Amino acid sequence: MDLEAIQAELRKANLDGWLFYDHHHRDPIAYHVLKIVAPMCTRRWYCLIPASGNPSRLTHRIERGNLDGVPGVLHLYSSWTEQRDCLRRMLEGKNRIAMQYSPMNDIPYVGLVDAGTVELVRSFGVEVVSSADLVQLFEARWSPAALASHLEAGKIVHAAIDGAFAAIKSAIQAGKTVTEYDVQQGILGVFAANGVETDEPPIVAVNANAANPHYGPTRDLAMPIRGGDFVVLDVWAKQSKPGAAYFDVTWTGFAGETVPERYTQIFNIVREARDAAVSLVKGAMQQGRLLYGYEVDDAARGVIERAGYGDKFIHRTGHSIGEDVHGNGANMDNLETHDSRQVLPGTCFSVEPGIYLDDFGVRSEVNVYVEEHDARVTGEVQQAIVPILGRER
* Torsion angle (degrees, nearest 10) of CA 85, 89, 113, 97: 160
- Does the pTM exceed 0.85? yes
CATH 2.40.40.20 at 3-139, yes or no = no
pLDDT digits (tens, 9 = 90+) for 289-330: 999 999 999 999 999 999 999 999 999 999 999 999 999 999
> What is the per-residue pLDDT for 276?
98
Pairing of strands 127-130, 96-99: parallel
Separation of alpha carbons 274 and 266, rounded Å:
12
Q: Is residue 154 a contact partner of residue 379, using CB atoms and an 8 Å limit?
A: yes
Separation of alpha carbons 348 and 373, rounded Å:
14
CATH for the 142-387 domain, from 3.40.50.620, 3.90.230.10, 3.50.50.60, 3.40.50.970: 3.90.230.10
Separation of alpha carbons 206 and 224, rounded Å:
8
Beta bridge mates, 248: 236
What are the CA-CA distances from residue 385 to residues 169, 252, 256, 323 (Å)?
15, 6, 11, 30
Separation of alpha carbons 123 and 84, rounded Å:
10
> What is the per-residue pLDDT for 393?
60
259: closest CA among 150, 392, 389?
Answer: 389
Separation of alpha carbons 328 and 29, rounded Å:
8
Collapsing DSSP to helix, strand or coil, 111 comes out as coil
Separation of alpha carbons 197 and 207, rounded Å:
27
The DSSP 8-state label assigned to residue 385 in this structure reads -
Q: Where do the domains of the chain lie?
A: 3-139, 142-387
Q: Is residue 204 a contact partner of residue 183, using CB atoms and an 8 Å limit?
A: yes
> What is the per-residue pLDDT for 39?
80
Q: Report residues of the chain scoring pLDDT below 70.
A: 393
